Structure 1
Amino acid sequence: MRKTFILIFLIGVLLMSCSKDQKVAVISTKFGDMVVEFFPDVAPKHVENFQILAEEGYYNGTTFHRVIPGFMIQGGDPNSKDLDRMNDGTGGRAGKFFGIGRENDPESWTVPAEFNDTPHQRGTLSMARSQNIDSGSSQFFICHDNAPFLDGQYTVFGQLISGIEVVDEIVNSERDPRDNPLDRVEMTVSLVDKSEAIKNENN
Protein backbone atom coordinates (compact mmCIF):
# COMPACT_ATOMS: atom_id res chain seq x y z
CA MET A 1 0.00 0.00 0.00
CA ARG A 2 2.81 2.36 0.93
CA LYS A 3 4.65 1.67 -2.34
CA THR A 4 1.47 2.45 -4.27
CA PHE A 5 1.07 5.74 -2.40
CA ILE A 6 4.68 6.71 -3.05
CA LEU A 7 4.30 5.86 -6.74
CA ILE A 8 1.13 7.95 -7.04
CA PHE A 9 2.85 10.82 -5.22
CA LEU A 10 5.87 10.71 -7.54
CA ILE A 11 3.65 10.62 -10.62
CA GLY A 12 1.78 13.65 -9.30
CA VAL A 13 5.02 15.55 -8.71
CA LEU A 14 6.20 14.65 -12.22
CA LEU A 15 2.96 15.84 -13.80
CA MET A 16 3.10 19.12 -11.86
CA SER A 17 6.69 19.64 -12.97
CA CYS A 18 5.84 18.96 -16.62
CA SER A 19 2.89 21.31 -16.43
CA LYS A 20 5.09 24.11 -15.08
CA ASP A 21 7.70 23.59 -17.78
CA GLN A 22 5.01 23.77 -20.46
CA LYS A 23 3.97 27.33 -19.66
CA VAL A 24 4.37 29.69 -22.59
CA ALA A 25 4.09 33.47 -22.78
CA VAL A 26 1.57 35.21 -25.01
CA ILE A 27 2.77 38.71 -25.88
CA SER A 28 -0.23 40.60 -27.25
CA THR A 29 0.08 43.77 -29.34
CA LYS A 30 -2.10 45.76 -31.73
CA PHE A 31 -0.48 43.77 -34.55
CA GLY A 32 -1.40 40.40 -33.06
CA ASP A 33 0.00 37.84 -30.63
CA MET A 34 3.43 36.29 -30.29
CA VAL A 35 3.76 33.01 -28.39
CA VAL A 36 7.07 32.27 -26.68
CA GLU A 37 8.34 28.89 -25.54
CA PHE A 38 10.88 29.04 -22.69
CA PHE A 39 14.26 27.31 -22.26
CA PRO A 40 14.49 26.61 -18.51
CA ASP A 41 17.17 23.97 -19.05
CA VAL A 42 19.74 26.53 -20.20
CA ALA A 43 18.54 29.75 -18.52
CA PRO A 44 16.39 28.86 -15.47
CA LYS A 45 16.84 32.20 -13.68
CA HIS A 46 15.92 34.22 -16.75
CA VAL A 47 12.83 32.12 -17.36
CA GLU A 48 11.78 32.41 -13.73
CA ASN A 49 12.40 36.16 -13.79
CA PHE A 50 10.29 36.71 -16.90
CA GLN A 51 7.47 34.55 -15.58
CA ILE A 52 7.40 36.32 -12.20
CA LEU A 53 7.20 39.72 -13.90
CA ALA A 54 4.51 38.49 -16.29
CA GLU A 55 2.42 37.15 -13.43
CA GLU A 56 2.76 40.51 -11.65
CA GLY A 57 1.41 42.28 -14.74
CA TYR A 58 4.69 44.20 -14.85
CA TYR A 59 4.90 44.15 -18.64
CA ASN A 60 1.35 45.26 -19.31
CA GLY A 61 1.35 48.72 -20.85
CA THR A 62 5.07 48.73 -21.63
CA THR A 63 6.09 49.20 -25.24
CA PHE A 64 8.52 47.93 -27.82
CA HIS A 65 10.66 51.06 -27.61
CA ARG A 66 13.56 50.06 -29.87
CA VAL A 67 13.03 48.33 -33.21
CA ILE A 68 15.68 47.80 -35.88
CA PRO A 69 14.87 46.00 -39.15
CA GLY A 70 17.13 43.03 -39.76
CA PHE A 71 18.11 42.99 -36.09
CA MET A 72 15.52 42.91 -33.30
CA ILE A 73 12.63 44.46 -31.37
CA GLN A 74 13.24 45.42 -27.74
CA GLY A 75 10.75 46.12 -24.97
CA GLY A 76 9.75 45.54 -21.36
CA ASP A 77 10.88 48.84 -19.83
CA PRO A 78 8.39 50.23 -17.26
CA ASN A 79 9.56 53.74 -18.15
CA SER A 80 7.91 53.30 -21.54
CA LYS A 81 4.50 53.42 -19.87
CA ASP A 82 4.70 57.21 -19.59
CA LEU A 83 4.73 59.75 -22.42
CA ASP A 84 8.39 60.72 -21.94
CA ARG A 85 10.09 58.95 -24.82
CA MET A 86 13.55 60.08 -23.69
CA ASN A 87 13.61 57.74 -20.69
CA ASP A 88 12.58 54.65 -22.64
CA GLY A 89 15.22 51.96 -22.33
CA THR A 90 16.60 53.14 -18.99
CA GLY A 91 14.37 51.29 -16.52
CA GLY A 92 13.54 47.84 -15.25
CA ARG A 93 14.19 45.41 -12.43
CA ALA A 94 14.31 41.68 -11.85
CA GLY A 95 11.28 39.85 -10.51
CA LYS A 96 13.04 38.67 -7.37
CA PHE A 97 16.39 38.85 -5.59
CA PHE A 98 18.86 36.64 -7.46
CA GLY A 99 21.84 37.66 -5.32
CA ILE A 100 22.67 40.84 -7.24
CA GLY A 101 21.71 44.28 -5.95
CA ARG A 102 20.44 45.18 -2.49
CA GLU A 103 18.06 42.57 -1.13
CA ASN A 104 15.79 45.18 0.50
CA ASP A 105 15.71 47.37 -2.64
CA PRO A 106 13.77 45.65 -5.45
CA GLU A 107 14.62 48.38 -7.96
CA SER A 108 18.29 47.34 -7.73
CA TRP A 109 17.68 43.66 -8.51
CA THR A 110 19.15 42.16 -11.67
CA VAL A 111 19.63 38.66 -13.10
CA PRO A 112 23.07 37.02 -13.39
CA ALA A 113 24.12 36.11 -16.92
CA GLU A 114 23.32 32.59 -18.10
CA PHE A 115 25.13 32.53 -21.43
CA ASN A 116 24.52 29.30 -23.30
CA ASP A 117 25.03 27.63 -26.66
CA THR A 118 21.58 28.49 -28.02
CA PRO A 119 22.06 30.68 -31.11
CA HIS A 120 20.44 34.04 -31.68
CA GLN A 121 18.23 33.35 -34.67
CA ARG A 122 15.00 34.72 -36.10
CA GLY A 123 12.40 34.63 -33.32
CA THR A 124 14.84 34.12 -30.43
CA LEU A 125 13.93 35.66 -27.05
CA SER A 126 16.98 37.08 -25.28
CA MET A 127 17.75 39.35 -22.33
CA ALA A 128 18.77 42.96 -22.93
CA ARG A 129 21.53 44.33 -20.71
CA SER A 130 24.10 47.09 -20.30
CA GLN A 131 27.86 46.53 -20.59
CA ASN A 132 27.64 44.76 -17.21
CA ILE A 133 26.90 41.14 -18.13
CA ASP A 134 24.86 40.68 -14.93
CA SER A 135 22.59 43.69 -15.50
CA GLY A 136 19.60 41.91 -17.07
CA SER A 137 16.27 42.94 -15.55
CA SER A 138 12.90 43.24 -17.29
CA GLN A 139 13.94 44.39 -20.77
CA PHE A 140 14.14 41.74 -23.45
CA PHE A 141 14.46 41.53 -27.20
CA ILE A 142 13.21 39.25 -29.96
CA CYS A 143 15.45 38.74 -32.98
CA HIS A 144 14.03 39.83 -36.33
CA ASP A 145 16.83 38.00 -38.12
CA ASN A 146 19.74 35.75 -37.22
CA ALA A 147 22.28 37.60 -35.04
CA PRO A 148 25.26 35.26 -34.47
CA PHE A 149 27.42 38.17 -33.25
CA LEU A 150 25.32 38.14 -30.04
CA ASP A 151 25.94 34.45 -29.32
CA GLY A 152 27.68 33.85 -26.00
CA GLN A 153 27.27 37.51 -25.01
CA TYR A 154 23.54 37.70 -24.27
CA THR A 155 21.31 35.17 -22.54
CA VAL A 156 18.87 33.35 -24.80
CA PHE A 157 15.93 32.03 -22.78
CA GLY A 158 13.14 31.38 -25.26
CA GLN A 159 11.94 31.18 -28.86
CA LEU A 160 8.80 32.22 -30.71
CA ILE A 161 6.63 29.28 -31.68
CA SER A 162 4.11 31.53 -33.43
CA GLY A 163 3.67 35.17 -34.33
CA ILE A 164 6.88 35.91 -36.21
CA GLU A 165 4.79 37.95 -38.64
CA VAL A 166 3.99 40.25 -35.70
CA VAL A 167 7.71 40.89 -35.26
CA ASP A 168 7.84 41.82 -38.96
CA GLU A 169 5.01 44.32 -38.49
CA ILE A 170 6.53 45.89 -35.38
CA VAL A 171 10.05 46.17 -36.76
CA ASN A 172 8.78 47.99 -39.86
CA SER A 173 7.06 50.70 -37.82
CA GLU A 174 7.99 54.28 -38.63
CA ARG A 175 10.66 55.27 -36.12
CA ASP A 176 12.26 58.31 -34.54
CA PRO A 177 16.08 58.82 -34.57
CA ARG A 178 16.36 56.57 -31.47
CA ASP A 179 14.59 53.70 -33.28
CA ASN A 180 11.50 54.16 -31.11
CA PRO A 181 8.24 53.63 -33.07
CA LEU A 182 6.38 56.91 -33.59
CA ASP A 183 3.11 55.13 -32.82
CA ARG A 184 3.31 53.31 -29.51
CA VAL A 185 3.40 49.52 -29.71
CA GLU A 186 2.14 48.48 -26.28
CA MET A 187 2.11 44.92 -25.02
CA THR A 188 0.33 42.75 -22.51
CA VAL A 189 1.96 39.51 -21.42
CA SER A 190 0.17 36.47 -20.04
CA LEU A 191 1.27 32.94 -19.18
CA VAL A 192 -0.81 30.03 -20.45
CA ASP A 193 -0.39 26.29 -20.91
CA LYS A 194 1.31 25.45 -24.19
CA SER A 195 -1.57 23.18 -25.18
CA GLU A 196 -4.01 26.05 -24.70
CA ALA A 197 -1.90 28.39 -26.83
CA ILE A 198 -1.69 25.83 -29.63
CA LYS A 199 -5.43 25.22 -29.42
CA ASN A 200 -6.12 28.96 -29.72
CA GLU A 201 -3.79 29.18 -32.72
CA ASN A 202 -5.69 26.41 -34.48
CA ASN A 203 -9.12 27.97 -33.91
Structure 2
Amino acid sequence: MARLTFAAGLALLQATSGNAFIAGPVSAPRATVAPVTSASEAEALLEAKSPRLIASNATGAGALGLGLVAGAAVALAGATRRSSAGQGRRSTASAEVVARKANPTATFETTMGSFKAEIYLDRVPITASNFIDLCTTGFYNGVHFHRVIPGFMDQFGCPNARDPNARNAGQGGPPDGEFKNLVTGATERRSNGGNIKDENISRDTNAPGTLSMANTGQPNSGGSQFFLNVNNNSNLDWFAPGPSKHPVFGKIIEGMDIAVAISKVPTRNDNPKTPIMMKSITIS
Protein backbone atom coordinates (compact mmCIF):
# COMPACT_ATOMS: atom_id res chain seq x y z
CA MET A 1 0.00 0.00 0.00
CA ALA A 2 1.29 3.49 -0.79
CA ARG A 3 2.65 5.42 2.15
CA LEU A 4 -0.01 7.67 3.65
CA THR A 5 0.86 11.37 3.68
CA PHE A 6 0.02 13.63 6.62
CA ALA A 7 -2.12 16.42 5.19
CA ALA A 8 -1.53 18.96 7.93
CA GLY A 9 -4.26 21.39 8.81
CA LEU A 10 -1.96 24.27 9.65
CA ALA A 11 1.14 25.37 7.78
CA LEU A 12 3.24 25.10 10.93
CA LEU A 13 1.91 21.59 11.51
CA GLN A 14 2.53 20.20 8.03
CA ALA A 15 4.38 16.90 8.40
CA THR A 16 7.26 15.68 6.28
CA SER A 17 7.29 12.05 7.36
CA GLY A 18 4.57 10.93 4.94
CA ASN A 19 2.03 9.38 7.29
CA ALA A 20 -1.72 9.72 6.75
CA PHE A 21 -3.56 12.65 8.27
CA ILE A 22 -6.85 12.72 10.12
CA ALA A 23 -9.02 15.31 11.88
CA GLY A 24 -12.16 16.29 14.55
CA PRO A 25 -15.61 17.57 17.20
CA VAL A 26 -18.57 20.03 17.64
CA SER A 27 -20.01 19.44 14.22
CA ALA A 28 -21.82 21.90 12.01
CA PRO A 29 -25.62 21.80 11.86
CA ARG A 30 -26.95 18.81 9.98
CA ALA A 31 -27.44 19.29 6.29
CA THR A 32 -31.04 19.96 5.42
CA VAL A 33 -32.65 17.04 3.59
CA ALA A 34 -35.63 17.80 1.39
CA PRO A 35 -38.70 15.67 2.18
CA VAL A 36 -40.06 13.14 -0.28
CA THR A 37 -43.32 14.70 -1.42
CA SER A 38 -44.52 12.69 -4.40
CA ALA A 39 -44.84 9.12 -5.57
CA SER A 40 -42.69 9.64 -8.63
CA GLU A 41 -39.89 11.01 -6.47
CA ALA A 42 -40.20 8.11 -4.02
CA GLU A 43 -39.97 5.59 -6.85
CA ALA A 44 -36.92 7.29 -8.36
CA LEU A 45 -35.16 7.36 -4.99
CA LEU A 46 -35.97 3.72 -4.42
CA GLU A 47 -34.52 2.69 -7.78
CA ALA A 48 -31.39 4.72 -7.00
CA LYS A 49 -31.19 3.27 -3.46
CA SER A 50 -30.92 6.83 -2.22
CA PRO A 51 -30.07 7.52 1.46
CA ARG A 52 -32.83 10.16 1.29
CA LEU A 53 -35.28 7.32 1.83
CA ILE A 54 -33.69 7.02 5.25
CA ALA A 55 -32.80 10.65 5.94
CA SER A 56 -36.06 12.37 4.98
CA ASN A 57 -39.50 12.59 6.53
CA ALA A 58 -38.42 11.62 10.06
CA THR A 59 -41.43 11.29 12.33
CA GLY A 60 -39.75 10.68 15.68
CA ALA A 61 -42.37 8.03 16.48
CA GLY A 62 -39.97 5.12 16.31
CA ALA A 63 -38.07 3.53 13.46
CA LEU A 64 -39.22 1.69 10.40
CA GLY A 65 -36.94 -0.93 8.87
CA LEU A 66 -35.50 -0.42 5.43
CA GLY A 67 -37.88 -3.05 4.08
CA LEU A 68 -40.86 -0.99 5.27
CA VAL A 69 -39.31 2.09 3.74
CA ALA A 70 -38.86 0.38 0.40
CA GLY A 71 -42.31 -1.14 0.63
CA ALA A 72 -43.87 2.24 1.30
CA ALA A 73 -42.13 3.70 -1.71
CA VAL A 74 -43.20 0.80 -3.94
CA ALA A 75 -46.78 0.96 -2.72
CA LEU A 76 -46.93 4.69 -3.24
CA ALA A 77 -45.45 4.44 -6.71
CA GLY A 78 -47.82 1.63 -7.66
CA ALA A 79 -50.83 3.48 -6.34
CA THR A 80 -49.84 6.52 -8.33
CA ARG A 81 -49.55 4.53 -11.55
CA ARG A 82 -53.01 3.02 -10.97
CA SER A 83 -54.46 6.43 -10.26
CA SER A 84 -52.80 7.82 -13.36
CA ALA A 85 -54.23 5.03 -15.52
CA GLY A 86 -57.70 5.41 -14.08
CA GLN A 87 -57.89 9.16 -13.78
CA GLY A 88 -55.30 10.44 -16.21
CA ARG A 89 -53.29 12.24 -13.58
CA ARG A 90 -50.84 11.52 -10.76
CA SER A 91 -51.75 11.73 -7.16
CA THR A 92 -50.33 14.71 -5.33
CA ALA A 93 -50.52 13.12 -1.90
CA SER A 94 -47.28 13.48 0.07
CA ALA A 95 -45.37 10.38 1.18
CA GLU A 96 -44.56 9.82 4.81
CA VAL A 97 -41.82 7.34 3.91
CA VAL A 98 -39.49 7.03 6.86
CA ALA A 99 -39.10 7.21 10.58
CA ARG A 100 -35.34 7.32 11.16
CA LYS A 101 -33.54 5.37 13.86
CA ALA A 102 -31.22 7.17 16.23
CA ASN A 103 -27.60 7.08 15.17
CA PRO A 104 -25.41 4.40 16.80
CA THR A 105 -22.99 5.21 19.60
CA ALA A 106 -19.40 3.98 19.68
CA THR A 107 -17.73 3.45 23.05
CA PHE A 108 -13.93 3.67 22.91
CA GLU A 109 -12.03 1.94 25.71
CA THR A 110 -8.39 3.03 25.80
CA THR A 111 -5.57 2.60 28.28
CA MET A 112 -6.04 6.29 29.17
CA GLY A 113 -9.79 6.12 29.71
CA SER A 114 -13.01 5.87 27.73
CA PHE A 115 -15.08 8.19 25.59
CA LYS A 116 -18.21 7.89 23.46
CA ALA A 117 -19.12 9.23 20.03
CA GLU A 118 -22.23 9.45 17.90
CA ILE A 119 -21.57 7.87 14.50
CA TYR A 120 -23.25 9.72 11.63
CA LEU A 121 -24.86 6.78 9.90
CA ASP A 122 -27.65 9.06 8.71
CA ARG A 123 -25.26 11.49 6.99
CA VAL A 124 -22.42 9.37 5.59
CA PRO A 125 -23.76 5.81 5.44
CA ILE A 126 -20.84 4.23 3.56
CA THR A 127 -18.16 5.75 5.80
CA ALA A 128 -20.11 5.02 8.98
CA SER A 129 -20.98 1.47 7.92
CA ASN A 130 -17.31 0.79 7.14
CA PHE A 131 -16.28 2.04 10.59
CA ILE A 132 -19.00 0.06 12.36
CA ASP A 133 -18.04 -3.11 10.49
CA LEU A 134 -14.39 -2.71 11.51
CA CYS A 135 -15.43 -2.15 15.13
CA THR A 136 -17.74 -5.15 15.33
CA THR A 137 -15.16 -7.47 13.79
CA GLY A 138 -12.53 -6.42 16.36
CA PHE A 139 -10.22 -4.83 13.79
CA TYR A 140 -9.29 -1.94 16.09
CA ASN A 141 -8.69 -3.97 19.25
CA GLY A 142 -5.06 -3.73 20.34
CA VAL A 143 -4.17 -0.91 17.93
CA HIS A 144 -2.23 2.09 19.35
CA PHE A 145 -2.54 5.80 18.64
CA HIS A 146 0.43 6.43 16.37
CA ARG A 147 0.33 10.23 15.96
CA VAL A 148 -0.89 12.89 18.37
CA ILE A 149 -0.37 16.66 18.24
CA PRO A 150 -1.56 18.99 21.03
CA GLY A 151 -4.00 21.63 19.87
CA PHE A 152 -4.60 19.68 16.68
CA MET A 153 -5.66 16.00 16.66
CA ASP A 154 -5.18 12.34 17.67
CA GLN A 155 -4.64 9.86 14.82
CA PHE A 156 -5.57 6.20 15.07
CA GLY A 157 -6.58 3.11 13.12
CA CYS A 158 -3.48 1.79 11.36
CA PRO A 159 -3.17 -1.98 11.88
CA ASN A 160 0.62 -1.67 11.75
CA ALA A 161 0.35 0.26 15.02
CA ARG A 162 -0.47 -2.88 16.96
CA ASP A 163 3.27 -2.52 17.50
CA PRO A 164 3.40 0.90 19.21
CA ASN A 165 6.90 1.51 17.87
CA ALA A 166 6.30 0.34 14.30
CA ARG A 167 8.16 2.46 11.78
CA ASN A 168 5.44 1.90 9.20
CA ALA A 169 2.61 3.05 11.48
CA GLY A 170 0.32 5.24 9.42
CA GLN A 171 0.83 3.26 6.22
CA GLY A 172 -1.69 0.47 6.75
CA GLY A 173 -5.35 -0.21 6.19
CA PRO A 174 -7.89 -3.01 6.43
CA PRO A 175 -7.89 -5.99 4.07
CA ASP A 176 -9.88 -5.81 0.85
CA GLY A 177 -13.36 -7.22 1.21
CA GLU A 178 -17.04 -6.41 1.58
CA PHE A 179 -19.28 -4.86 4.19
CA LYS A 180 -22.96 -4.03 4.38
CA ASN A 181 -24.30 -0.51 3.94
CA LEU A 182 -26.47 -0.30 7.05
CA VAL A 183 -28.74 2.31 5.47
CA THR A 184 -29.43 0.97 1.99
CA GLY A 185 -28.63 -2.70 2.58
CA ALA A 186 -26.27 -2.65 -0.39
CA THR A 187 -22.94 -4.46 -0.43
CA GLU A 188 -20.01 -2.03 -0.29
CA ARG A 189 -16.39 -2.90 -1.02
CA ARG A 190 -12.93 -2.15 0.25
CA SER A 191 -10.34 -2.39 -2.50
CA ASN A 192 -6.84 -1.31 -3.53
CA GLY A 193 -5.48 -1.77 -0.03
CA GLY A 194 -8.69 -1.59 1.98
CA ASN A 195 -9.90 1.73 0.58
CA ILE A 196 -13.52 2.88 0.44
CA LYS A 197 -15.31 5.42 -1.72
CA ASP A 198 -15.08 9.07 -0.73
CA GLU A 199 -18.37 10.26 0.72
CA ASN A 200 -18.18 14.03 0.41
CA ILE A 201 -21.87 14.73 0.89
CA SER A 202 -22.44 16.04 4.42
CA ARG A 203 -21.11 19.50 5.26
CA ASP A 204 -20.09 18.71 8.85
CA THR A 205 -16.98 20.69 9.69
CA ASN A 206 -13.82 19.37 11.38
CA ALA A 207 -14.69 21.01 14.68
CA PRO A 208 -13.41 20.01 18.13
CA GLY A 209 -14.64 16.55 19.09
CA THR A 210 -15.41 15.31 15.61
CA LEU A 211 -14.14 12.08 14.06
CA SER A 212 -12.78 12.47 10.54
CA MET A 213 -11.38 10.15 7.90
CA ALA A 214 -7.68 9.99 7.14
CA ASN A 215 -6.51 9.46 3.59
CA THR A 216 -3.42 9.72 1.37
CA GLY A 217 -4.56 12.92 -0.28
CA GLN A 218 -5.75 10.95 -3.30
CA PRO A 219 -9.42 10.30 -4.12
CA ASN A 220 -11.01 7.20 -2.58
CA SER A 221 -8.04 6.44 -0.33
CA GLY A 222 -9.71 6.30 3.10
CA GLY A 223 -9.84 2.99 4.95
CA SER A 224 -9.52 2.32 8.67
CA GLN A 225 -7.52 5.35 9.81
CA PHE A 226 -9.25 8.35 11.32
CA PHE A 227 -8.49 11.20 13.68
CA LEU A 228 -10.11 12.97 16.62
CA ASN A 229 -10.10 16.74 16.26
CA VAL A 230 -9.17 18.59 19.44
CA ASN A 231 -9.18 21.97 17.71
CA ASN A 232 -11.21 23.75 15.07
CA ASN A 233 -9.65 22.33 11.91
CA SER A 234 -12.18 23.61 9.39
CA ASN A 235 -9.40 24.01 6.83
CA LEU A 236 -9.49 20.20 6.55
CA ASP A 237 -13.12 20.11 5.44
CA TRP A 238 -13.73 18.45 2.07
CA PHE A 239 -15.64 21.56 1.03
CA ALA A 240 -12.92 24.01 2.15
CA PRO A 241 -10.32 25.46 -0.26
CA GLY A 242 -7.06 23.54 -0.42
CA PRO A 243 -5.89 19.97 -0.98
CA SER A 244 -6.97 18.41 2.34
CA LYS A 245 -10.33 16.64 2.02
CA HIS A 246 -11.41 14.86 5.20
CA PRO A 247 -15.09 14.00 5.71
CA VAL A 248 -16.45 13.97 9.25
CA PHE A 249 -18.33 10.82 10.29
CA GLY A 250 -18.98 11.28 14.01
CA LYS A 251 -18.74 13.44 17.12
CA ILE A 252 -17.61 12.81 20.68
CA ILE A 253 -20.58 13.10 23.03
CA GLU A 254 -18.91 12.01 26.26
CA GLY A 255 -15.29 12.02 27.47
CA MET A 256 -13.83 14.82 25.34
CA ASP A 257 -11.31 15.38 28.13
CA ILE A 258 -9.80 11.97 27.34
CA ALA A 259 -9.24 12.91 23.68
CA VAL A 260 -7.61 16.19 24.74
CA ALA A 261 -5.42 14.39 27.30
CA ILE A 262 -4.26 11.93 24.65
CA SER A 263 -3.21 14.81 22.39
CA LYS A 264 -1.01 16.26 25.15
CA VAL A 265 1.08 13.22 26.10
CA PRO A 266 4.86 13.35 25.62
CA THR A 267 5.84 12.20 22.15
CA ARG A 268 8.79 11.31 19.97
CA ASN A 269 8.19 12.27 16.33
CA ASP A 270 4.51 12.73 17.24
CA ASN A 271 4.29 9.12 18.48
CA PRO A 272 3.38 8.77 22.19
CA LYS A 273 6.38 7.76 24.27
CA THR A 274 4.10 5.74 26.52
CA PRO A 275 1.90 3.63 24.23
CA ILE A 276 -1.83 4.36 24.23
CA MET A 277 -3.77 1.28 23.18
CA MET A 278 -7.38 0.89 22.09
CA LYS A 279 -8.73 -2.01 24.13
CA SER A 280 -12.00 -2.14 22.25
CA ILE A 281 -14.63 -0.14 20.39
CA THR A 282 -18.21 -1.31 20.92
CA ILE A 283 -21.28 -0.16 18.99
CA SER A 284 -24.70 0.32 20.56
Q: Same fold (TM over 0.5)?
A: yes
> Does residue 45 of structure 1 match 2:130?
no
- TM-score, structure 1 normalization: 0.78
1:109 to 187, 190, 194: 194
Aligned to 2:234: 148
Evaluate the alpha carbon distance shift between residue 65 and residue 83 of structure 1 in structure 2; reply closer, same or farther with a 3 A threshold: closer
Q: Distance in 2 between matches of 1:99 and 1:19?
A: 25
Q: Name the structure with the higher helix share.
A: 1
Q: Which runs of 4+ in 1 moved over 4 A?
A: 15-21
Q: Could you say if the C-alpha distance between residues 172 and 22 of structure 1 is closer, same or farther in structure 2, counting changes exceeding 3 Å?
A: same
Indicate which of 246, 250, 253 corresponds to 1:158.
Answer: 250
Higher gyration radius (CA) = 2
Contact 2:142-2:280 within 8 A present in 1 as well: no
Q: Which residue of 2 aligns with 1:135?
A: 221
Q: Give the equivalent residue in structure 2 for 1:7.
A: none
Where does residue 115 of structure 2 map in the other structure?
34
Deviation at 1:23, TM superposition (A): 2.2
The structural deviation recorded for 1:139 is 0.6
Residue 189 (structure 1) aligns with: 280
Where 1:53 maps in the other structure, the secondary structure is helix
**Which runs of 5 or more structure 1 residues have no equivalent in the other structure?**
1-10, 103-107, 194-203
Q: How far apart are 1:31 and its partner, in Å?
A: 1.8
Deviation at 1:171, TM superposition (A): 0.5
Matches of 1:93 and 1:117, distance apart in 2:
26
Question: TM-score, structure 2 length as denominator?
Answer: 0.57
Aligned partner of residue 33 in structure 1, secondary structure: strand
Task: Give the 3 Å change call, closer, same or farther, for CA 132–175 of structure 1 in structure 2.
Answer: same
> Structure 1 residues 83, 172: closer, same or farther in 2, change over 3 A?
closer
Q: Do the aligned residues in 2 keep the contact of 1:65 with 1:75 (CA within 8 Å)?
A: yes
Instruction: Pick closer, same or farther for the CA change 1:19–1:25 going to 2, 3 Å.
Output: farther
* Structure 1 residues 12-91: aligned runs within 5 Å: 14=64, 21-82=102-163, 84-91=165-172
- State the match for 1:126 in structure 2: 212
Which whole-Å CA distance do the structure 2 matches of 1:92 and 1:20 have between them?
A: 30
SS at structure 2 position matched to 1:86: coil
Deviation at 1:20, TM superposition (A): 6.5
Distance in 2 between residues matched to 1:161 and 1:95, nearest whole Å: 31
Contiguous gaps of at least 5 residues in structure 2: 1-60, 68-98, 179-187, 239-244
Contact 2:63 2:101 in 1 (8 A): no
Q: Report how many aligned residue pairs link the two structures.
A: 177
How far off is 1:92 after superposition?
1.1
Task: Give, in whole Å, the separation in 2 of the partners of 1:93 and 1:24.
Answer: 22
Give yes or no for contact 1:30–1:186 (8 Å, CA) kept in 2: yes
Cα distance, 1:191 vs structure 2: 2.6
Cα RMSD (Å): 2.5
Name the CA shift for 1:44/1:86 in 2 (closer, same or farther; >3 Å). same
